[in-house]
Amino acid sequence: MTTTESKRLSGHLGPVGIVFMVVAAAAPLTVIGGNMPLAMGLGNGAGAPVGFLIASLVLLVFSVGFVTMTPHVPEAGAFFSYVSVGLGERMGKGIAVVALIAYTAIQVGIYGYIGWAISDTVAFYDGPVIPWPVYSFAILAIVAVLGYRHIGLSAKVLGVALALEIGIVVILDLAIFADPGPAGITVASFTPDVFGQGAIGIAILFALTGFIGFEATAVFRDEARDPERTIPRATYAAVILIGAFYTLTVWAFVVAIGPDLVVATAQQTLDGEGNMLLDTTDAVLGRIGRDIVNILLLTSLFACVLSFHNVIARYQFVLSRKGLLPARLGAVHDSHESPAFSSVVQTVTAAVIVGILAILGIDPLVGVFGSMAGVATVGMVLLMLTTSVAVLVFFLKNRDLGGGVWNSRIAPVLAVLGLLASLWLVLSNFTLVTGGSATLSTVLAAVPFVGLVIGALLWKPAGATST
C-alpha cells in the first residue's frame, strides 16, 4: 500500500491552508475557555490581556529568525531540521526527540480533555453517562481515518471547524463591545497599575501554552505550494492571528465582566462553581449562543487533536528519511500521497497511551490534560530556545548569506532572552500547569530535557554501524 522510500510527500497547500492547520492546533476557543481563567485567576486578573500580548511579541520576534533561516533549510521537519543545520546533527536528533515528546504529550492531553468535554456535554443535556475513554477512542478513530488520507482532506475539515470557531468568538467580542459590562469599554487592562498587579508571569505562562503548534508551519514544507514564500507567510500570519485573537478576546471578557470582578469570576471557574466562557456567552448571546459555543468548543478540541496527529506523523516521516527511525515510517501511500504508515503508528501510539491512562483511572482533566500540557509547554519553549540559538550560530558562521542585522542577529538574541525568561516562568510555576505535586511536576518537567540528552547520545555519524 505504500511506495518506496524515494517518493516525497506532495501537495498544494497555500498560506491559508497551512495557517488553518497550525491555528487549529493552537485550539483558540479551548484556550479562551481554559487558559484565560487560569491567567486571570492565578495571574494578574484584569491585566491578563497584556500577558497574552507579551507572549505574542516574544513568539513574533522568534519567528523573525525562524523565517529568515527557512530558505537555507531545504527539508520539512521544523525544529529538528533548523537545529541540525545550525548546531549539528547530534543536537538536531536530540531536538527531534523533544519535539516528538512535546507533540505526543499535548495530543494525548487533548484526547483526555475532549473525552471529558463530550461526556460532560452529553450529561448536561440529560444524555447517558458514558466513561470519557469511550468518547476519546471514538475521536481517535475519526482522526485515524483523516490522518491516513491526503493532507488536503484534513485541511478542509480544519478550515471549516476553525472558521466556525473563530466566527462565533468574533460575534461574541462584537456583542460585548456593543453592550459592555458595568465599567463600559475600559482600557484599564493596559495600564501599568493594573497589569503590574498580581503575577503577570503566570499570565504569560498560560498564554505561551496556548501557542503550542504554531511553529509547525515548516513541517508541511513538502506539501506547500511554494515553500520559500508559503512557509514564512504562514508563520507570520499564524502568530499574528493567534496573538491578536487571544489578546482581543481576553480584553473583551474584561470589558464584559468588569475589571473589578474578573478575578472572582475566574476563580469560580477554577473552583468548578462556574464557567467563565459559557456563562459570559449566555449573558451576552443567550442560551442559544451558549449552546453554539459549547458545541464549537468540542470541534475546537477535535481540530486541535487532528492537527497534532498530522504534525507528529510528518515528524516521524522526516526522521525516518534521515535514518533516525525505521525506514517504513518514511513510506508514502500510492494513492493518498500521505505518510500513511507513519499515521497508523501515531494512531497506535496515542491509543496505547490513552488506554493505559484510562485503565489506571487517571482524571482526564487534571491528570491527563494538565500533566501532558505541562510536559508539552516545557518542550515547546525548549524547542524554540534551541532553534533561536541555532539561527544565531548559523548566520554567525555564514556571514556571506546576509539576512540583515535585525533578522539574523538582533531578533534571534532577543528571542533567546525572551525564551529563557519564559522557560524560567514555566519551570518556576510548573505545579500550576500540571495541577500535581512538586515531585510529580519535577519529574514531568524533566522529561523533555531527558529526551534531549538521550536523542543526542544515540546519534551516530553518517556511515556508522548501528547496533
The rounded distance, in Å, linking the Cα atoms of 267 and 40 is 8
According to the model, what pLDDT value does residue 411 have?
94
User: Is the CB of residue 350 less than 8 Å from the CB of residue 103?
Assistant: no
Ordered by where they begin, the domains of the chain are 15-456 (1.20.1740.10)
CA 99 to chain centre: 12
Give me the DSSP letters along 278-330.
HHHHHHHHHHHHHHHHHHHHHHHHHHHHHHHHHHHHHHHHHHHHTTSS-GGGG
Q: What is the mean pLDDT of the chain?
A: 83
Rounded Cα–Cα distance for residues 385 and 423 (Å): 9
* pLDDT, tens digit, 9 for 90 and up, residues 304-353: 888 788 888 877 887 777 777 777 776 675 565 667 778 888 899 999 99
Q: Residue 229, class by beta-carbon neighbours within 10 Å (0-12 exposed, 13-18 middle, 19+ buried)?
A: middle
Q: Which residues contact 53 (CB under 8 A, 6 or more apart)?
A: 243, 247
At residue 231 the predicted structure's pLDDT band, cuts being 50, 70 and 90, is confident
Given CA atoms 184, 49, 444, 109 in this order, what sign does their dihedral have?
Answer: positive
Give the pTM: 0.82
C-alpha 338/C-alpha 464 separation (Å) is: 30
Task: Give φ, ψ of 217 to 5 degrees.
Answer: -55, -40
Return the closest-CA partner of residue 295 out of 107, 150, 120, 127: 120
Confidence band, pLDDT 50/70/90 cuts, at residue 354: very high
CB 453 within 8 A of CB 94: yes
Q: Which residues, listed in sequence order, are joined to residue 224 by a DSSP beta bridge?
A: 13
Kindly tell me the sign of the dihedral angle through the C-alpha atoms of 374, 451, 339, 215: positive
Report pLDDT digits (tens) over 289-300: 999 998 888 888
pLDDT in tens, 43-75: 888 999 999 999 999 999 998 998 888 888 876
Phi, psi of 224 (to 5 degrees): -85, 150
